[in-house]
């Protein structure tokens, strides 16, 4: 039977994990809303063009429509992404600090590592540019093919709508935006957590980390659940050496939509040896959509 301390340890850690999952869901929601907004803005602008403007000679003007919509998306999301990146990093630091607080261990490490934050922010910072550029290329391709095939402007606009909203993993801008948002948020969380544990280990020798499976993602990650490594050591995950979940050095197979975390561990501390049934992890929907390989 779990002791009071074990129950508190796991409850406090899982509370932070739920906050991380909630933030990722919010980013995912906002990014998908931005993709939909870009689609709507483009279609509205194209609908207002006259039949004479839908010709080969007006291709630059047509492409300007999609470029303008793409630029608006990037401008609107830049501030949002910067703020969310810092929040994701702070949650990763909180995940690292919580076990020490519960176990009444003073780490001597305070604040956040701004250099580590900057390095961890690269993926999320590129998210909006990556997705908006992909959308613009897709839309422009539909326009070019439509004009070359003598399609009407109505048919071209209809094709653009289907291109963006069709379902399927990684086959649409929506799926790509969703996957990048979830993966990069988790990457920032885990980089922050790992950097913090390495820093704490300088003041508190003997700091380890344990891999905590999300409970709903890859079975290869389930096999690593509960494994303990020293602060700077790697885990062997599906044949790869990863410092932490969503390690930038890991393959897409091992990192995309991964919701695993690591949790600090020292001799005599409780282990995260169960899956919190209340933890709604952001990988769960991916299982239903068939986007995660079990």
**Segment 160-197, tens digit of pLDDT:** 766 655 553 334 666 666 677 778 888 889 999 999 99
- In whole angstroms, give the CA distance from residue 48 to residue 259: 44
CA max distance for the chain? 77
Q: How far apart are the first and last CA of the chain?
A: 31
- As a whole number, mean pLDDT of residues 282-292 equals 44
- What is the number of helices (H) and of strands (E) in the chain? 9, 5
Q: How many CB atoms lie within 10 A of CB 35?
A: 25
Per the structure block, which two tokens stand in for 48?
């207002």
| 294 pLDDT more than 50 | no
| CA–CA gap between residue 289 and residue 294 (Å, rounded) | 12
The answer on pLDDT for 236 being more than 70 is: yes
Tens digits of per-residue pLDDT, 15-58? 999 998 888 888 778 777 777 777 777 777 777 777 666 666 56
- Strands of 117-214, DSSP E: 208-212
Give the pLDDT confidence of 93-151 residue by residue, as tens digits.
Answer: 999 999 999 999 999 887 777 666 666 666 655 666 776 777 777 777 777 777 777 77
**What is the full DSSP assignment across 226-294?**
T-EEETTPPEEETTEEESSTT-TTS-HHHHTT---EEEEE-TTPPP--S--TT---TTHHHHHHT-S--
d(CA 179, CA 203): 37
């Amino acid at each position: 039977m779990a002791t009071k301390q074990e129950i508190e340890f796991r409850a406090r850690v899982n509370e932070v994990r739920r906050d991380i999952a909630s933030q990722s869901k919010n980013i995912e929601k906002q990014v998908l809303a931005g993709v939909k907004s870009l689609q709507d803005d483009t279609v509205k602008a194209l609908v207002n063009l006259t039949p004479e403007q839908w010709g080969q000679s007006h291709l630059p003007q047509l492409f300007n429509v999609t470029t303008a919509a793409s630029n608006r998306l990037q401008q609107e999301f830049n501030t949002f992404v910067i703020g969310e990146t810092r929040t994701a990093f702070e949650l990763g630091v909180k995940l690292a600090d919580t076990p020490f607080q519960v176990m009444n261990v003073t780490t001597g490490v305070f604040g956040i590592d701004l250099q580590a934050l900057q390095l961890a922010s690269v993926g999320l910072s590129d998210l909006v540019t990556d997705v908006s550029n992909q959308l613009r290329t897709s839309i422009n391709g539909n326009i070019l093919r439509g004009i070359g095939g003598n399609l009407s402007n109505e048919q071209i606009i209809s094709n653009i709508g289907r291109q963006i909203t069709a379902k399927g993993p990684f086959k649409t801008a929506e799926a790509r935006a969703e996957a990048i948002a979830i993966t990069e948020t988790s990457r920032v969380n885990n980089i922050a957590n790992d950097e913090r544990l390495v820093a704490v280990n300088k003041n508190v020798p003997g700091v380890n980390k344990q891999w905590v499976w999300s409970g709903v993602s890859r079975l290869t990650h389930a096999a690593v659940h509960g494994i303990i490594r020293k602060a700077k050591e790697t885990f062997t995950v599906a044949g790869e050496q990863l410092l932490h979940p969503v390690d930038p050095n890991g393959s897409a197979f091992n990192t995309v939509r991964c919701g695993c975390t690591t949790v600090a561990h020292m001799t005599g501390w409780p282990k995260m040896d169960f899956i919190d049934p209340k933890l709604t992890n952001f990988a769960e929907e991916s299982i239903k959509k068939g986007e995660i390989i079990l």
